[in-house]
Amino acid sequence: MNKTYISTRNLQKEINFYQAIVQGIGDDGGLLVPNFDLPKLDLKQLVNLNYVELATEVISTFVPDEGKELIHQACINAYGKGLFPEIVVPVEKAGDVYIAELFHGQTAAFKDMALSLLPHLMTLSLKQLNEDRLVMILAATSGDTGKAALEGFKDVEGTCIKVFYPLDGVSAIQQQQMISQEGKNVKVIGIKGNFDDAQSAVKVAFGDASLKEASDQHHVFLSSANSINVGRLIPQIVYYFHSYFELVRRKEITMSEEINFCVPSGNFGNCLAGWIAKQMGLPVKRFIAASNKNNILTDFFTTGKYDANREFYKTNAPAMDILVSSNLERLVWFMSNKDGNKVREYMDKLKKDGVYEVDADIFARIQEEFSAGYLTEQQVMETIKDCYEKTGYVLDTHTACGYGVLKQYQKETNDQTKTVLLSTASPYKFPESVYQALFNEGLDVYEAIEKLHKKTGVAVAKPLIGIQDRPVLHHDHIDKTEIIHFIKSEIEKI
Ligand SMILES: *Cc1c(COP(=O)(O)O)cnc(C)c1O
C-alpha cells in the first residue's frame, strides 16, 4: 500500500511519512493526515506484546513497509532503554476507575510518551530523505511539551530546538524544569503573552516568507515538536492499546469488550489518538473529553459550534488552558469524510470570525462517539480531596478534571461501561494545588512536594527530585510580537 499524507485543508501534494515528520505541518497551514485507510489490527496477536513490541506494530502501520526495522530501533531507544519504568504505562485503580499513568517518562509529563520517540523519528526521517540541512525545532508550550521536547532533542545531531513558553502560564516547577535545561542545541524563551499567542506565532512562523528566505540562506529548515506533528500523534495511539491489553491480561475485561476512555484535553491530540486506535480495531464505546474552566471543547461537543470568542482563564490545570485546540481539525476532517475543502472553509472562518459550526451530519457522527464536560477550579480542588478520601489515590489537577467529569457523566447517563482515565500528570507537577486541596494549607512549591510525600506516601517523581538546586541557564524574555524576529535572528546566527 502506498502510505501517503495530505493536509486537512487539501491544498498540498501528497508526501510520505518521513516528509510528514520533517515538515511538521501542511504547507497550506493545515495538519498532516494519513491519506490511506487506517489498517485494522488483530488484537489477539498483540495482547501479550511488551510496550516496545506493541509500539513497533502500531506505529509501523503508518510507515512504508521497509521502515519497520527502523521503527523498531526507534521504539527501543525511546521506551526500552531505562528512560521509562519496565511497565511503561502502569494502570492503577481508584475506586471503579482505571487510571493509566502516562507520566513516568524522563520529565514526569505525559508529553514524554510521544516526545521520547519524536527525535528518533526525526533523525531516521532525515536520513531517509538524505537531508543535510540543520533542523530547527520550534515548540510552543503550555508547560509540559517544552521540557519533554528539550529533553528529547537535547544534543540530537542535526537538530536544534527553541521552546517558547508563556511567562505567566506555566507552573513554578515547569518553569524551573525548562530554564535549567542543559544541552548544546537548546534554547528556552519566556513570552509575554498566553499559550495561544505562542502557539499562533509558531504556526505563523512556518508560513513566513522572510523566515523561509533566511532559512534557505543559512541551510536550515524549520520543523515542529508540537502536537500538530503526526510524529506526536502516532506514538500516542500505542498506550490506548496497551491500557486495554493490561485490563485483558488482568482479566478485568474480556477480549473484545467495549470500554470507555476519559481524557483530560487541551490541544486534543491525546483524545484524537484514542479515536484513531478505535478506527484500528480497539473496542471503544465512547470517549469523554474533559476540560477545565476553558470549556471550549465541552461547548463544541455539546453544540457543534467552536467559538473562540470568549475569555481566556488561567486555571490550576494550566496545561489545559487553551482556546485553540489544534488537533480538533483532524477530527473534523475525519468526521467530514475527509473533506479538505470543507475543513479549510471552517478554519478560514475560525481565523476570520473566531468561530465555526460544523454541518449537522458531521456533528451527529461526532456525538455518537464523544461526550464532554468540564470542572471549575473549585471543583478540581474538591475532586482531588474527594477521590483521595474515597480511594486513597492522589490525582493531579488535570487528571482531576477527567475524574470529576467522568463522575458527572456516569451520573447523568447511567453508563456503567468500564472506563480508563488517562492520567496526564504526576501530582508532584502541581504540588501546591494538590496539597492545598488535600490538606487545606497553602505551601510554597518545594515544601508542598516534601509534605505531600510525607502525608500520602506517594513516591516523588524522580525527575523532580532536587530540581530547585539546578542553576538557571536560560534568561531570554520577549514580547509575543517579537517571536518571528527572534527566530530570524537565531537562524542568522547559524
Ligand atoms: C498536554 C497536556 C494535556 C492536554 O493534552 P492534549 O493532547 O493537548 O489534549 C493535559 N494534561 C497535561 C498535564 C498536559 O501536559
Domain boundaries, the chain: 91-109+231-466
**Looking at the annotation, which residues are catalytic?**
111
Task: Tell me whether residue 302 is exposed, middle or buried, using C-beta atoms within 10 angstroms of its C-beta: 0 to 12, 13 to 18, 19 or more.
Answer: middle
Q: What is the mean pLDDT of the chain?
A: 95
Q: What is the mean pLDDT of residues 123-144?
A: 90
pLDDT digits (tens, 9 = 90+) for 444-482: 999 999 999 999 999 999 999 999 999 999 999 999 899
pLDDT digits (tens, 9 = 90+) for 347-374: 999 999 999 999 999 999 999 999 999 9
- 370 bridge partner residues: 287
Percentage with pLDDT > 90 across the chain = 86
Measured in angstroms, how far is the CA atom of residue 144 from the centroid of ligand 1?
8
Check if 109 has its Cβ closer than 6 Å to any atom of ligand 1. Answer: yes
Q: Is the CB of residue 80 less than 8 Å from the CB of residue 52?
A: yes
pLDDT digits (tens, 9 = 90+) for 241-264: 999 999 999 999 999 999 999 999
Q: Residue length, the chain?
A: 494
Determine the atom of ligand 1 nearest the C-alpha atom of 264.
10
pLDDT of 143 strictly over 80: no
Determine the atom of ligand 1 nearest the C-alpha atom of 399.
11
Confidence at residue 196, expressed as pLDDT on a 0 to 100 scale: 81
Measured in angstroms, how far is the CA atom of residue 118 from the centroid of ligand 1?
17
Pocket test for ligand 1, best of 110, 292, 316 (most atoms within 8 A of CB): 110
pLDDT digits (tens, 9 = 90+) for 251-304: 999 999 999 999 999 999 999 999 999 999 999 999 999 999 999 999 999 999
Percentage with pLDDT > 70 across the chain = 100
pLDDT of 307 strictly over 80: yes
Check if 140 has its Cβ closer than 6 Å to any atom of ligand 1. Answer: no
Confidence at residue 1, expressed as pLDDT on a 0 to 100 scale: 65
Measured in angstroms, how far is the CA atom of residue 266 from the centroid of ligand 1?
5
Check if 407 has its Cβ closer than 6 Å to any atom of ligand 1. Answer: no
Check if 195 has its Cβ closer than 6 Å to any atom of ligand 1. Answer: no
> What's the topology of domain 91-109+231-466?
Rossmann fold (3.40.50)
Confidence at residue 200, expressed as pLDDT on a 0 to 100 scale: 84
Q: What is the mean pLDDT of residues 213-224?
A: 92
pLDDT digits (tens, 9 = 90+) for 26-63: 989 899 999 999 999 999 999 999 999 999 999 999 99
pLDDT digits (tens, 9 = 90+) for 316-352: 998 898 898 999 999 999 999 999 999 999 999 999 9
Pocket test for ligand 1, best of 424, 433, 464 (most atoms within 8 A of CB): 424
Of 91-100, 319-328, 408-417, the one with minimum mean pLDDT is: 319-328
Check if 344 has its Cβ closer than 6 Å to any atom of ligand 1. Answer: no
Q: What is the mean pLDDT of residues 429-436?
A: 96
Quick one: pLDDT band at residue 82, thresholds 50, 70, 90? confident
Measured in angstroms, how far is the CA atom of residue 290 from the centroid of ligand 1?
10
pTM assigned to the model = 0.94
